[in-house]
Structure 1
């Protein structure tokens, strides 16, 4: 059990809520809600604590994901009713469930922090979706917990809109991620770098267990606690491994491979997470916790999207190595699960870590080839790709649009192709286009078919910073119109959408919005 620090009135207020029943009452009209068992909370007090949500004053529904609700077993009609809003803001109790916050630790910007945890997040409920898959529903911004470390436990409207947009945009792009179910605003003021209003985001995933959970129990718990947590994850999320004689090694191998594949997917979309601490990495290989993230616009290998990352630890080009480093921390925390002898455990951990390198190389090149329209793996592919990326960098080209326009370059005259590709380096670009087209021709197939395949993997629409900012400003004025318009466009990122062309364009020249986003939102 991790005890609450006794420091100030805010902590005392939190302590008073720890053993309290969830706030509010079940509103009228609640029918057919999934009633599952709180699987993670059932592990016991060493893993977290029950915490009642802090009611959100003047709660106003801004968004509800009806398609996701239906998928996870909620009645979309009920969820959009007045009866649902109190449950999705922490203003009323979810029947049969007790909200809880979990404890974990982590390496933040490479520095060990011995206790973190769900400081402003509550697991509200757990159940099984109609297809049998596990569902965990969390509220983010529902008040402080024992792990809030002095914060108010609230989320700002701006940060909540950004997380909602990012997870739904990545989901539409095929990237494993947590999902956004609901968003509610409030008149309650919240002071961060700037004054904003509070919001509560409802988000779901099969589970929210992080690398940092295992680091915490490896440092502060017992071997039995660590094994119990690992077996819990295996039982509910990797059940096909449960009866294997080396189940923990097999599970860790899967986590390493899922993480490598996730980072490869990010790289080929130009997505930067911004805060790749071990407490922000999911053991299911999901994109987790959206703070100062960003889709890179002008291609810069050393692009940093986090204003707090002064040394560029989590720059775009550094992400793959950071993924490996974080996996190494997880394997170190779980070494005792691999073998009783330290030397044997280290050898197994190194063998598992090698899987990261192998899977990342295979997956990232598979995705790069697809973006370039290449069907076959050949020895010169990395060179061809690097020449293209160099052209993008020197031409200060928009990453997303440059790849999208390559599909057009297959079917038009080379001189015309130069117009819609990185500017200012015609000779080098013409040489590259000649080599690329020759490479495509050597594989056969029709240019139209090749172009169509490229458009299915090179998005036309991504979540650009200025688009997110427009949706945020609308929400801050009390309107969710632009939020819903943007989400509708991002839900079909690979499609040409007549009338939505401005959502594909970068900011106007001279007005590029490189938002200074830190970790305080």
Structure 2
């Protein structure tokens, strides 16, 4: 394991800390493929002790980062790693840099009134979700290892504690720059930008033009990321600026959720009473958050350059989304009627609460004869209402003339059969809390191949049962 702890040298950017050991730790999950990619060869006992805070390699320098953020629209001037810390920066055998970030490590100077701990429930949810997103091809932090503990942690109720070690090329957030801007310590902003250039984007120059190009890159990556979320039906739940990655990664999984029945107004976070972060609000919120970042960078990047970069957000997002939606419907080209075809489909889906993932996956079975497959019909409460739309869709497919087998192959390559629905995660959590990780292992196996048929596990690819609607996911999740 080769470490280069460059960020921890910025003593103005946080505080050196040490993890507080967890009681009676047990290694629950390990990501061996990712560990190999990072060049980390540890025994199971070393993984357990590392993630539980009982052991650190001598060249690790744990560091809690400070940042700020706009939370539900209101500005919080100081946040930071309140229950997490940067253990170190690994240089992998291929030369790529990775942060090792430990969640549930105990109190830091930024814990405010928190205990600095994580619970098994939320830690397992993040482990499952980050790996699911990775295998869907969506940029994300990764899960490296999960440890359970007998230590009681108090949330809405007493829950078992846990530690989660996650990895990402960087954990820099919009909120890092907001902290130094609003605290009047703007002299540190170029140093953070230079760090990002040195460690991630060495093709950029460390001057005003390079910083402008960096911001434009952040805009484009954020737009692409949110388009991918919308395409797969993913709701983040808490899109505060402190949860927005400078690398365009899906960051900080809390009250996330994948759509079951299609509802553009779906709110996955029980704590989001006003629906600020509803599914259909994510594109607008992404832009709003980028505006906050632009403000924080306005001292080092020309205002006109910031505005020009922001002006590319909508086009990038809509281009990525439109192209992705055509692929989901098995279309290869662009026609002027496509937006209306998409819009009318979603209107019908919302009116009949059609299961989002099942709809796109099963639609591949539609044949040139126009007969609606039985497994599609069962998703519709009123199939007759779809007659006109199906006729238009068939006509559109016929324009391209793609052979049926090729169309099915293409659609199945972008429409996942297996998605991390809330009820599946909940079942894995309940078993894990009883000491049984078999359901989590099954989910990880399925989510590593989300586009493959795997017919022996068809039960995991069905619409959510009725009881799933009662699940409540909040920020503490």
TM-score w.r.t. length of structure 1: 0.89
Q: 1:333 aligns with which of 296, 304, 328?
A: 296
Classify 1:245/1:338 alpha carbon distance in 2 versus 1 (closer, same or farther; 3 Å).
closer
Displacement after TM superposition at 1:178 (Å): 0.2
Specify the alignment match of 2:269 in structure 1: 306
Specify the alignment match of 2:130 in structure 1: 167
In 2, Cα distance between equivalents of 1:333 and 1:292: 27
In 2, Cα distance between equivalents of 1:177 and 1:287: 4
Decide whether the 8 Å contact of 1:405 with 1:421 is kept in 2.
no
Displacement after TM superposition at 1:130 (Å): 1.3
Specify the alignment match of 1:31 in structure 2: none
In 1, Cα distance between equivalents of 2:24 and 2:369: 57
- Write the deviation string for residues 362-420 of structure 1: whole angstroms up to 9, x where unpaired: 11101111101110012211110111111111111100000111101135642546853
SS at match of 1:500: helix
Q: 1:481 aligns with which of 421, 434, 438?
A: 438
Displacement after TM superposition at 1:138 (Å): 1.0
Decide whether the 8 Å contact of 1:506 with 1:512 is kept in 2.
no
Which deviates more, 257-266 or 385-394? 385-394
Residues 62-211 of structure 1 mapped to structure 2, 5 A cutoff:
62-75=28-41, 78-79=42-43, 81-211=44-174
Q: 1:513 and 2:476 equivalent?
A: no
Q: 1:52 aligns with which of 1, 14, 18?
A: 18
Displacement after TM superposition at 1:268 (Å): 0.6
In 2, Cα distance between equivalents of 1:250 and 1:453: 34
In 1, Cα distance between equivalents of 2:343 and 2:57: 53
Specify the alignment match of 1:4 in structure 2: none
Tell me how many residue pairs correspond in the alignment: 477
- Write the deviation string for residues 444-484 of structure 1: whole angstroms up to 9, x where unpaired: 22011011100000010100111000110111001111111
SS at match of 1:499: helix
List gaps (5 residues or longer) in structure 1: 1-33, 340-344
Decide whether the 8 Å contact of 1:402 with 1:421 is kept in 2.
no
List gaps (5 residues or longer) in structure 2: none
Q: 2:7 aligns with which of 23, 40, 54?
A: 40
Which deviates more, 90-99 or 60-69? 90-99
Which deviates more, 275-284 or 245-254? 245-254
In 2, Cα distance between equivalents of 1:88 and 1:419: 45
Q: 1:265 and 2:231 equivalent?
A: no
Decide whether the 8 Å contact of 2:197 with 2:206 is kept in 1.
no
Displacement after TM superposition at 1:358 (Å): 1.2
Specify the alignment match of 1:250 in structure 2: 213
Decide whether the 8 Å contact of 1:37 with 1:126 is kept in 2.
yes
In 2, Cα distance between equivalents of 1:352 and 1:468: 38
Specify the alignment match of 2:242 in structure 1: 279
Decide whether the 8 Å contact of 2:25 with 2:52 is kept in 1.
yes
In 1, Cα distance between equivalents of 2:377 and 2:34: 38
Displacement after TM superposition at 1:131 (Å): 1.2
Specify the alignment match of 1:13 in structure 2: none
Decide whether the 8 Å contact of 2:363 with 2:376 is kept in 1.
no
In 2, Cα distance between equivalents of 1:242 and 1:203: 30
Displacement after TM superposition at 1:84 (Å): 3.0
Specify the alignment match of 1:444 in structure 2: 401
Considering only aligned residues, what root-mean-square deviation do their CA atoms show, in Å?
1.4
Specify the alignment match of 1:235 in structure 2: 198
- Write the deviation string for residues 149-173 of structure 1: whole angstroms up to 9, x where unpaired: 1111000000001000100001110
In 1, Cα distance between equivalents of 2:470 and 2:276: 18
Displacement after TM superposition at 1:87 (Å): 1.6
Specify the alignment match of 2:325 in structure 1: 368
Q: 1:294 and 2:257 equivalent?
A: yes
Decide whether the 8 Å contact of 1:35 with 1:96 is kept in 2.
no
Q: 1:389 and 2:355 equivalent?
A: no
Decide whether the 8 Å contact of 2:128 with 2:444 is kept in 1.
yes
Specify the alignment match of 2:187 in structure 1: 224
- Write the deviation string for residues 81-100 of structure 1: whole angstroms up to 9, x where unpaired: 32332122211122212101
Displacement after TM superposition at 1:424 (Å): 3.1
Which deviates more, 410-419 or 195-204? 410-419
Decide whether the 8 Å contact of 2:122 with 2:476 is kept in 1.
no
In 2, Cα distance between equivalents of 1:304 and 1:70: 38
Classify 1:328/1:349 alpha carbon distance in 2 versus 1 (closer, same or farther; 3 Å).
same
- Write the deviation string for residues 36-61 of structure 1: whole angstroms up to 9, x where unpaired: 2211111x221011001000110001
